[in-house]
C-alpha cells in the first residue's frame, strides 16, 4: 500500500479529531483514548501486524461502556459523549487497517466528527479544516478507486485529482447555494454555547460591565450602507428602575410586531432618511437586537419581534444562535416620549446626590441645559477606571463613585447621571448597548467586541428622548493589520457560509434573473403561507422533473423503434384503451382499429414490425415519418 494512501488516511483521521478539539467543548480526559492514533498509525506506517478482529471488537465494546459512563455520569451530555467516542474509535481503528474498507470507515468516522463539530462551533477554523478535509477526501476516494482496481501506483493521478478537487469545490458551492434552507431548528437544541455577556437582560447587576470590558471577543460585525459621522451607539436595552444594586427593565408593555413584506416595521420611515445596517450577531446569550437609534424596521428570519415602550427590540426564543439581520434606523429624529413615573424612580439614600446635581445645574436653566451641565461635570471631574473597589460599608456605589473614589467606568457615569437627572425632575433611563467598534478597512465594516459594551443615558427633554454620554472618552488601541485581515475573513465566513439564508438565495435568483425581470409583473412577497405553497409547488415540480428524467433514462436504452412503440402504447393507455403488458403489436393493431385510431396507428405498427423484426433499413425520412404519425395520433388529427 503506497505511503501516500496511508498518509492521507492518517491525516483524515487526525482532521476529524482536530475538528472536534477546536470547538473547545471536548472533555480532554475523555479524549485521551484518541492519543493511541499516533501509536496506531506509527505501527501502520512501519507495516507492523494489525490488531485481530477479536482485539478490535473487545476494544470497541470497552469504548461503548466508556461512552455510557460519559453520557450518564461524566459529561452527562449524549452529544458530547458521542464526540468523545468517535475520537476513541479513531484510535482503535488505527490498529485495525487491513482492507480498503477499513480506510473508508476512517473517512466516514471523520465525516461524522466533522458533523458533530459543526454543531459545536461556527468558527472560521472549522472552514479551514473542512477545506483540508474536502481535498483529502477527494484524493483518498480517487486513491481508493485505484486501490480497489489493484492499480494504485501504476497511473499518474496528480492531474485528475487536482481537476476533481476543483470540480468538487465548485459543485459543493453550487449545491450549498441551491439547497433550500429551513429557518428554524425542529428537534433538539443547539449545542453552540453563546457568548456570555452582561447588560442585555431585564435585570443587570451594577458593576458587571467591568468584567466584560477586558474581553476582546467579537460580538457583532456591522456593515453600513452609507457613511455617517461618529459616534456610533449600538442601542440595546433601556433600564428604568434602580435599587442601588441592580438596574431593571420594568417595562410591562411589549408590542409584538408581525412581518410586513420583507421586514418588521417598528415605525413608519422615509427611505431617504434611514441608515441601513447589516449586522452579523455572534451567538450571545441575549434576545436583544442591536442597532443605531432610532430603529424603524428590522429584517430578520423570525416569526415575530417584540418592542418595549423604551424602544428595546428583542427576538423571542432567539436562544444562542448566530443571526444576521438588517436594521433601518432614522438617526436624525429622536424617539418621542412622555413623562412617566418609572423614569423618575429613585433608590433610597440619594439626598446627597440630589443636592450635588442641583448645585451643578443651578437655578432657572432649561432641562436640556441642566442635563448638559451634569454630563460635562461628570466628564471633567471623574476618572475612567476599570479597577474599582467595593464601596465602604454603609455607602452606596453611586455615592462612593461621586464623593469618594471619583473613578469608575460607564455604568458608574451613566447611573450617576440618571439619578442626578431624576433628582432634578428630568425623566431619564440608562441604555445598555455597544459604543463605536473598530472600522475594518479590509471589508469596510465595524467590529464590535465585548469590550465595546457601554452604558449611556437617555433623558426626556420636552417630548423627545435625547442621548447623553457622561463617560469620558478613552483612547482606543488600533489592532494589528493581520488581526483585521483575519477578522475580515471571519466576516466573509459568517456572511456567506454560516449565515447563508433563504434571503441570500432569493437575492442570488433576483440578481441572476434581473435582466429578465418583467416590471409589469407583481413582485412576489414570500412569507408564511405563501412560502409553504411555493415550496410545495417547487417540490411537485422537482418530483415531476425527476419522473421525466427517470423515464427518459429508462427509454434511452431502447432503440428509436422500440422507444416509439412504447410511446404509442402509453398514448393508447392515455386515450383510455386497456393495454396490458402481455399485448403484442398485433393485439394493439386490433384494439386500435376498434378504437378508430385511424390508419396512422396501423401504419405505425406496420413500420414497427418491419423495422423491429424485419431487416428493413432505418433512414432519417422513416424516422421522421414515425414522429409525424405519433404526433398525429397524439393530437387526434389523424384520419379516422
Partner 1 sequence: MKLTREGKRFLLAAVLIAVAAVNTGNNLIYLILSLMLSFIVLSYLILRLNLAGLVLEVSAAGPLFAEEQVSVKLLVYNRKKVPVYSVIITASDAAEQVYCGHIAGHGVFRDRMKMCFRKRGLYAYGDFVVQSGFPFILFRKSMSVHLSGQVLVYPKLLDIRHMIDIIEGRQDEGVVAVRGRGDEVYSLRAFQHGDDWRRIHWKASARQNEFLIREYVEYASQQISILLDNLLPSDGEHFETAVSLAASIAQHFIERGHLVRLIAARKTISFGSGNEHLLSILDALALIAEQDEERDVYGLKAEGFTIAVLKSGQSSLRSAVASADLAIYADTL
Binding site for partner 1 (CB under 8 A): 101, 104, 108, 111, 114-115, 118-119, 122, 126, 130, 134, 137, 141-142, 144-146, 148-149, 151, 154-157, 160, 164, 167-168, 171-176, 179, 181-188, 190, 497-500
Which residue number, 148 or 593, has a Cβ lying nearer to partner 1? 148
For residue 281, which of 116, 122, 127 has the smallest C-alpha distance? 122
Closest distance to partner 1 from the beta carbon of 281 (Å): 15
Residues in Cβ contact with 106 at an 8 Å cutoff, skipping those fewer than 6 apart = 9, 12, 13, 90, 93, 97
Closest distance to partner 1 from the beta carbon of 162 (Å): 12
Closest distance to partner 1 from the beta carbon of 112 (Å): 8
Closest distance to partner 1 from the beta carbon of 341 (Å): 44
Nearest-angstrom CA–CA distance, 329 and 186? 33
Nearest-angstrom CA–CA distance, 21 and 168? 26
Which residue number, 138 or 431, has a Cβ lying nearer to partner 1? 138
Which residue number, 157 or 257, has a Cβ lying nearer to partner 1? 157
For residue 293, how far is the Cα from the chain centroid?
Answer: 25
For residue 292, which of 278, 281, 277 has the smallest C-alpha distance? 277
Q: What share of the chain is helix, strand, coil (3-state, %, to 5)?
A: 50, 15, 35
Which residue number, 155 or 524, has a Cβ lying nearer to partner 1? 155
For residue 432, which of 108, 91, 202 has the smallest C-alpha distance? 202
Contact at 8 Å (CB) between 487 and 447? yes
Which residue number, 164 or 583, has a Cβ lying nearer to partner 1? 164
3-state secondary structure (DSSP) of residue 75: coil
Nearest-angstrom CA–CA distance, 539 and 409? 57
Q: What is the DSSP string of 135-196?
A: HHHHHHHHHHHHHHHT-TTTS--HHHHHHHHHHHHHHHHHHHHHS---SS--SS---PPPBP
3-state secondary structure (DSSP) of residue 460: strand
3-state secondary structure (DSSP) of residue 407: strand
Which residue number, 48 or 145, has a Cβ lying nearer to partner 1? 145
Nearest-angstrom CA–CA distance, 568 and 276? 61
Which residue number, 111 or 346, has a Cβ lying nearer to partner 1? 111
Which residue number, 134 or 599, has a Cβ lying nearer to partner 1? 134
Closest distance to partner 1 from the beta carbon of 461 (Å): 45
Which residue number, 338 or 556, has a Cβ lying nearer to partner 1? 556
Q: Counting beta carbons within 10 angstroms of the beta carbon of residue 419, is it exposed (0 to 12), middle (13 to 18) or buried (19 or more)?
A: buried
Amino acid at each position: 500500500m503506497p505511503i501516500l494512501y496511508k498518509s492521507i488516511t492518517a491525516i483524515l483521521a487526525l482532521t476529524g479529531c482536530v475538528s472536534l478539539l477546536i470547538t473547545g467543548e471536548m472533555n480532554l480526559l475523555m479524549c485521551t483514548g484518541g492519543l493511541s492514533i499516533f501509536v496506531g498509525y506509527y505501527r501502520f506506517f512501519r507495516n507492523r501486524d494489525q490488531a485481530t478482529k477479536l482485539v478490535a471488537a473487545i476494544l470497541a465494546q470497552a469504548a461503548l461502556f466508556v461512552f455510557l459512563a460519559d453520557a450518564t455520569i461524566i459529561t452527562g451530555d449524549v452529544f458530547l459523549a458521542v464526540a468523545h467516542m468517535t475520537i476513541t474509535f479513531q484510535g482503535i481503528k488505527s490498529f485495525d487497517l487491513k482492507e480498503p474498507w477499513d480506510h473508508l470507515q476512517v473517512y466516514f468516522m471523520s465525516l461524522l466528527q466533522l458533523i458533530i463539530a459543526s454543531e459545536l462551533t461556527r468558527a472560521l477554523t472549522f472552514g479551514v479544516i473542512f477545506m483540508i478535509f474536502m481535498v483529502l477526501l477527494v484524493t483518498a476516494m480517487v486513491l481508493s478507486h485505484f486501490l480497489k482496481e489493484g492499480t494504485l501506483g501504476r497511473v499518474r493521478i496528480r492531474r485528475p485529482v487536482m481537476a476533481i478537487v476543483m470540480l468538487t469545490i465548485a459543485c459543493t458551492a453550487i449545491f450549498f447555494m441551491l439547497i433550500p434552507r429551513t429557518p428554524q431548528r425542529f428537534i433538539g437544541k443547539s449545542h453552540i454555547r453563546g457568548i456570555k455577556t452582561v447588560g442585555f437582560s431585564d435585570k443587570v447587576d451594577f458593576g458587571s460591565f467591568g468584567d466584560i470590558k477586558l474581553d476582546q471577543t467579537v460580538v457583532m460585525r456591522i456593515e453600513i450602507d452609507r457613511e455617517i459621522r461618529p459616534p456610533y451607539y449600538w442601542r440595546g436595552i433601556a433600564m428604568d428602575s434602580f435599587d442601588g444594586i441592580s438596574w431593571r427593565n420594568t417595562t410591562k408593555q411589549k408590542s409584538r410586531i408581525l412581518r410586513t413584506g420583507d421586514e418588521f416595521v417598528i415605525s413608519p420611515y422615509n427611505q431617504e432618511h434611514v441608515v441601513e445596517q447589516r449586522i452579523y450577531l455572534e451567538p450571545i446569550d441575549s434576545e436583544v437586537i442591536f442597532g443605531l437609534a432610532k430603529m424603524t424596521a428590522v429584517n430578520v428570519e423570525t416569526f415575530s419581534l417584540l418592542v418595549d415602550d423604551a424602544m428595546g427590540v428583542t427576538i423571542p426564543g432567539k436562544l444562542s444562535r448566530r443571526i444576521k439581520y438588517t436594521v433601518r434606523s432614522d438617526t436624525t429624529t429622536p424617539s418621542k416620549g412622555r413623562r412617566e413615573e418609572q423614569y423618575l424612580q429613585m433608590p433610597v439614600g440619594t439626598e446627597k446626590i440630589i443636592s450635588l446635581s442641583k448645585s451643578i445645574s443651578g437655578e432657572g436653566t432649561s432641562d436640556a441645559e441642566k442635563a448638559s451641565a451634569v454630563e460635562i461635570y461628570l466628564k471633567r471631574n471623574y476618572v475612567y477606571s476599570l479597577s474599582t473597589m467595593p464601596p465602604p460599608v454603609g455607602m452606596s456605589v453611586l455615592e462612593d463613585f461621586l464623593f469618594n473614589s471619583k473613578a469608575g467606568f460607564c455604568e458608574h457615569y451613566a447611573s450617576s447621571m440618571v439619578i442626578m437627572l431624576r433628582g432634578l425632575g428630568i425623566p431619564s433611563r440608562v441604555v445598555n448597548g455597544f459604543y463605536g467598534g473598530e472600522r475594518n478597512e479590509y471589508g469596510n465594516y465595524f467590529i464590535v467586541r465585548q469590550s465595546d459594551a457601554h452604558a449611556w443615558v437617555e433623558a426626556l427633554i420636552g417630548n423627545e428622548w435625547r442621548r447623553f454620554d457622561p463617560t469620558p472618552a478613552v483612547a482606543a488601541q488600533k489592532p494589528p493589520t493581520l488581526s483585521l485581515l483575519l477578522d475580515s475573513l471571519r466576516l466573509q465566513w459568517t456572511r456567506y457560509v454560516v449565515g447563508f439564508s433563504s434571503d441570500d438565495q432569493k437575492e442570488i435568483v433576483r440578481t441572476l434573473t434581473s435582466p429578465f425581470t418583467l416590471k409589469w409583473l407583481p413582485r412576489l412577497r414570500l412569507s408564511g403561507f405563501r412560502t409553504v405553497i411555493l415550496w410545495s409547488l417547487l417540490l411537485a415540480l422537482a418530483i415531476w422533473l425527476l419522473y421525466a428524467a427517470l423515464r427518459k433514462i429508462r427509454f434511452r436504452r431502447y432503440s428509436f423503434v422500440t422507444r416509439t412503440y412504447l410511446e404509442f402504447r402509453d398514448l393508447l393507455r392515455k386515450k383510455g384503451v386497456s393495454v396490458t403488458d402481455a399485448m403484442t403489436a398485433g393485439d394493439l393493431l386490433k384494439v386500435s382499429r376498434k378504437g378508430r385510431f385511424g390508419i396512422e396507428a396501423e401504419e405505425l405498427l406496420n413500420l414497427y414490425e418491419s423495422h423491429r423484426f424485419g431487416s428493413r433499413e432505418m433512414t432519417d425520412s422513416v424516422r421522421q415519418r414515425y414522429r409525424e404519425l405519433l404526433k398525429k395520433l397524439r393530437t387526434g388529427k389523424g384520419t379516422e
